[in-house]
Amino acid sequence: MKKFLVTFSLVLTGCTVWAAGLKTVRSDKSSQLYELAVVQRIEFDQQDGDAAMRVKFKDGNPDDTDVKVVIFTEEGPNEVKQWMGSDVRYFLYPNPVRNELTVTGPEAGDALLVYDLAGRKQMEVKAAEGETILPVSGLEPGTYLLRTEKTVLRFVKQ
């Protein structure tokens, strides 16, 4: 069982110009919204091919663990604003992935195309409502590109 930890510190003053909050989504699909000012750092953890993040707080509150997605938002606990544009609405996790890649953001029916770095199409799936699970266990280990109707995302297959 191999485990490694990478610590990623936030430069909060730069982030607050465009983001007021940090939303975390855990593997059980529950989510939590935090003021960006209370976040000390985000730690990335991988064990047995499963990636997770942990949010550590400045005030010593218990860590938010088993986080799969971190989203910087304009939302704060007392207000909710919607992001405009498509640059922040697509997410995939876990990354790196072994068996199943979860994709959120594309509209139901959108084509999701997976390409290897040589440009060969490896898979095509229609997006489901909400989130789509891509079965990637049959792909060779390496880096792949997921093309949606509006963006291209990179993921690593272990």
Q: What is the pLDDT of residues 45-100, one digit of tens each?
A: 666 666 677 888 888 888 888 887 777 766 555 544 444 443 446 888 888 899 99
Put simply, whether the predicted model's pTM sits higher than 0.85 gets the answer no
If you search the block for the tokens 């983001």, which residue do you land on? Answer: 19
Q: Is residue 82 within 8 Å of 71, Cβ to Cβ?
A: no
User: Each residue of 38-77: b (16+ CB within 10 Å) or e?
Assistant: ebeebbebbeeeebbbbbbeeeeeeebeebbbbbbbebbe
Q: Among 46, 73, 100, where does a domain finish?
A: 73
The answer to whether residue 79 is domain-embedded is: no
54 CB-near residues (< 8 Å, 6+ apart):
42, 43, 45, 63, 64, 65, 66, 67
The answer to whether residue 85 is domain-embedded is: no
Q: Write the DSSP symbol of residue 38.
A: G
Tokens (6 digits) for 72: 């910087």
The answer to whether residue 84 is domain-embedded is: no
Phi, psi of 82 (to 5 degrees): -95, 140
The answer to whether residue 57 is domain-embedded is: yes
Give me the CATH number covering residue 103. Answer: 2.60.40.3080
Reference 104, options 85, 91, 123, 87; nearest CA is 91
45 and 14 fall within a common domain:
yes
How many domains does the chain contain in total? 2
52 and 9 fall within a common domain:
yes
48 and 109 fall within a common domain:
no
53 and 110 fall within a common domain:
no
Q: What is the pLDDT of residue 127?
A: 93
H-state helical runs in the chain: 12-15
Mean pLDDT over 3-9 rounds to 37
For strands 3-9 and 39-47, give the pairing. antiparallel
The answer to whether residue 122 is domain-embedded is: yes
Domain boundaries, position 147: 91-157
Percent of the chain with pLDDT over 70: 71
Q: What is the pLDDT of residue 48?
A: 61
Reference 156, options 116, 122, 104; nearest CA is 116
Q: What is the pLDDT of residue 5?
A: 38
Q: What is the pLDDT of residue 30?
A: 80
54 and 98 fall within a common domain:
no
* 3-12, 15-24, 81-90 — most confident range: 15-24
